[in-house]
Amino acid sequence: MRSAKFLFTALAAAGMLAAQGQPPLAQRIAARLRPNDLKADVSFLASDALQGRATPSPGLEIAAEYIAAQFRRAGLEPVGDDGYFQSAAFQSVKPNPEGLEFTLDTANAEQGTVVIQEAVATDLNRAAAFKITLSDTAALDALTAEEVRGKVLLVEVPDVGGAGGGGMAAFQAQRRMLALAAKLEPAMVVMVRAAGQQSNPNARVPLRDATAPAPKVPVLNVWDKAIHDTVAAAQPGPMEAMVSAHIAAPIVQPVKLRNVAGVLRGTDAELKDTYVVVTAHYDHLGVRPNAQGDGIYNGANDDASGSASVIAIAGALAELEEKPKRTIVFVTVFGEELGGLGARWYTSHPIFPIAKTVADINLEQLGRTDDSEGPKVAQFNLTGFDYTDIAATFAKVGAVTGVQAIKHEKNSDSFFNRSDNASFADAGIPSTTLSVSYIFPDYHQPGDEWQKLDYDNLAKVDVTVALGILDMANSAQAPQWNKENPKTARYVQVREKQ
Ligand SMILES: [Zn+2]
């Protein structure tokens, strides 16, 4: 840790200490960033009235309006296409089981043994089939488009039993399979299983970015016994048996979703056209009728705490007399719980140029200090701690406020792709997610309610976060990827092409 004297000099150089007669910057930010304001915002966003803020839902829309109102109060400049709103064109894509048919040679899948996973209208009449085994990763990797293009890929899924259907390894293998399918362009992918999948009563109709190319490869799950046995008995590779199938076109409906965006304009002639983005997701899991308790997933810590922090930090920085040199962009995003939809929309439809965006600081789960590992007071974690020099900035300002920026040895890297910072990283932008706790009691449970947060601690953390953001906004040197860490190579590559 650096000495206090060094810090004083460094802070003075960075313009972080006030001119004569003014209290220090940290104190002025703290005076405006009050625990009760955070409590007010979290308690509203996480109230039962908003019904868990599912994407999409009326509760999510109310949350968006509320956040926009707070940005208006703070005097942020609206930068969406509709005031503070960045509209996103999505579609709900509901599979249509009418006339669904799947035949392998003479075996016609019995009713109730086929479900559509990826709904693409399809008619196949005796198409060639090609068998692979999901567990044979080497063979999967070796597949070429020449081998399977236009054929039906029959994927034997190992029977691992259990309600979850195979755990993380099987899940990852399946995801890899689907990514491969998109590349290899088979006519269809069929996951052939020994047993039926439990239907998920909480399954929602899938959402799709309406501006992105629609998937071309249909995916079915089949567990008809005769078909399973035929596939299981066959050697991997081209099969003698032929496939016929009919999948009706899905029922597609437009869904409008919204990110909420406002900016605090930079004032430096050159740096004002560069951008520090601060994000948090304002959606959560909604209502699940068969859940314990009231079934409302309030999402107070996850992530009303991050959204309220964005509001509070924006308000505090907007009230300072001295304006930042770079422009600070505050964005709350939808659809994180469905796989980062809102952040992905932002980076594929950026309000400000990606190449001029110097960092994304994403805020998640900042309010609960009762981490499953034990109490976490006056500290926060950063994902990808060693990926960029961002952590060093927060460590520096944390030395002033007494809040520690911490590397969680186990979760720092493994959680890097588990929140909205990942979309920004994929776009080449140095990014991180700040969290006080990763896993806490009530994580993704109806009990994640606003009364359980530590608002005094949240305010202290947010003052530190605000100081760090301001430091980045005022520094001539933009945050950088750590090129010595091999895990950043793919992000650096994207960055250097911009
Ligand atoms: Zn979250």
**Are 218 and 124 within 8 A, CB to CB?**
no
Ligand 1 centroid from CA 55, angstroms: 13
Ligand 1 centroid from CA 414, angstroms: 15
For residue range 420-448, what is the model confidence (pLDDT) as tens digits?
999 999 999 999 999 999 999 999 999 99
CA 445 – CA 299 distance, rounded (Å): 8
Ligand 1 centroid from CA 364, angstroms: 5
Ligand 1 centroid from CA 244, angstroms: 43
Ligand 1 centroid from CA 18, angstroms: 35
How many helices (H) does the chain have, and how many strands (E)?
15, 22
pLDDT at 312 over 50: yes
Please report, in angstroms and rounded to a whole number, the separation of the first and last CA atoms in the chain: 35
For residue range 248-290, what is the model confidence (pLDDT) as tens digits?
999 999 999 999 999 999 999 999 999 999 999 999 999 998 7
**Of residues 10 and 117, which shows the higher confidence score?**
117
Closest to 304 measured CA to CA, from 466, 460, 414, 451 = 451
Q: What is the pLDDT of residue 268?
A: 98
Q: What is the pLDDT of residue 5?
A: 45
CA 341 – CA 333 distance, rounded (Å): 8
Ligand 1 centroid from CA 106, angstroms: 48
What value does the mean pLDDT of the chain take?
A: 92
**Are 331 and 362 within 8 A, CB to CB?**
no
Q: How many CB atoms lie within 10 A of CB 292?
A: 9
> Which pLDDT band holds residue 164 (cuts at 50, 70, 90)?
very low
What is the average pLDDT across 297-307?
Answer: 98
Ligand 1 centroid from CA 444, angstroms: 9
Q: What is the pLDDT of residue 165?
A: 44
**Of residues 142 and 59, which shows the higher confidence score?**
59
Ligand 1 centroid from CA 161, angstroms: 30
How much of the chain is in helix, strand and coil states, percent to nearest 5? 35, 25, 40
Q: What is the pTM of this model?
A: 0.88
Domains and CATH numbers, the chain: 4-90+254-496 (3.40.630.10), 96-249 (3.50.30.30)
